[in-house]
Amino acid sequence: MPEDLAKPEPFDPRATDAELDDLRRRLRATRWPDAPEDAGWSLGTDVGYLRELVEYWADGFDWRAQEEALARLPRFRVTVGGLRIHLVHARAAAPAPQPAIPLILTHGWPDSFWRYTKVIELLTDPGAHGADPADAFDVVVPDLPGYGYSDPPAGAPLDSIAAAGLWAELMTTLGYERFAAAGGDLGSHVSRYLALDHSGRVIAVHRMDAGLPVLSGDHSELTPEEQEWIRTVGVWGATEGAYAAIHRTKPQTAAAGLTDSPAGLAAWIVEKLRAWSDCGGDVERAFTKDEILTNVTLYWLTGTIGSAMRMYAANAAIPPAQLARRVEVPSGFSIFQGDVVRPPRAWLERSTNLVRATEPPRGGHFAPFEQPELYAEELRAFFRPFRTG
């Protein structure tokens, strides 16, 4: 490692008793909104379910047990680009029959490194889980700047292009010249720019979505399937996109309430966990209460809901010409059946050097957490041809 690169330091954050006592006090003092009779989830988070979740958060949820589970992951913090970045760095199980591929996994919103906690061991030690030991990876899972335990930028928020630049520097710091990239949601965006701006270092890139469509040419050139997809994206934005409009334009307004009220924070996040997962309308078919609250508690204890939302504002300023660039690095997609705004194959072929596209039958936007075995197998299958042996 070059002498001017920072050395990753082991990192094991622990909440204080005072922080947890304050959280429980706020939960028990929640001032509840009214709701129309039988509104359910039709107008946003179901108040009845939220009450149940908050009561469990205050009097049943064991953060210390979740903290211990997370502490079993090999977690570090390292300074990159002037920011302290938190990451999981798990090396492939030894001995491996061939060199492991370094793989950086990037999360999105509303989550953090939490998204990938179930797949790390499946990817580093596939032989222990009934898969081929030759498919092992060195896995790197960082928190984006302003998410989880990574520092937020002191000034303007970073966009996905800048985050990709940080990840390239991070991989150099960890000793990886060549590596693979994968992600979903904002993580798909960041992985795309890793492939675009650092193509000489990225072996191949795997994504769970293609982002929102940007076309620089004539829409008449699109296939009927692409045109229908663009239409449905517009409908989805009108019915489900209010959160993103707030994040892009006035994130600090929402941040004031969400940073102060744990019940409000839970409402903001759990509604998306339900709407975007393959749960058939019952969020606890995809996540247990403990899993939901581990994700939400990470946001609460780190105070990062505002800085996380601000990344949307930064991305909104990315020039259209950047969004329209074609990815020439070999690209793969797993478009899970339960996800939102699912692009057609024709768009994937138009916008990337597509070598593999699948539509797994189960899982949604948070597939690495919802269906970890299925997601891990998707990554193994896609990257297998790129192993040098």
Q: Catalytic amino acids?
A: 185, 312, 365
Q: With residue 80 as reference, give the H or E element that holds it.
A: strand 75-80
User: Can you tell me whether residue 368 is helix, strand or coil?
Assistant: helix
CA distances from 209 to 9, 116, 227, 345, 362 (A): 33, 16, 17, 11, 15
In angstroms, the first-to-last Cα distance of the chain is: 24
CA distances from 342 to 159, 185, 375 (A): 23, 12, 17
Give the CA count within 13 Å in the CB-facing half-sphere of 65: 6
240, 275 contact by CB (below 8 A): yes
Long-range CB contacts for residues 72-75, cutoff 8 Å, separation at least 24? 73/117, 73/120, 75/10, 75/11, 75/12
Using the Cα atoms of residue 331, residue 334, residue 339 and residue 345 in order, give the sign of their dihedral: positive
Instruction: Return the structure tokens found at 362.
Output: 């189960």
Strand-by-strand arrangement of the 83-90 sheet:
9-10, 75-80, 83-90, 137-142, 101-106, 179-183, 202-207, 327-334, 352-358
Instruction: Indicate the pairing of strand 179-183 with strand 202-207.
Output: parallel
d(CA 128, CA 137): 13
* Burial environment of residue 9 by CB neighbours within 10 A (0 to 12, 13 to 18, 19 or more): exposed
Closest to 206 (Cα-Cα) out of 106, 126, 138:
106
To which residue do tokens 């209010």 refer?
242
d(CA 133, CA 227): 43
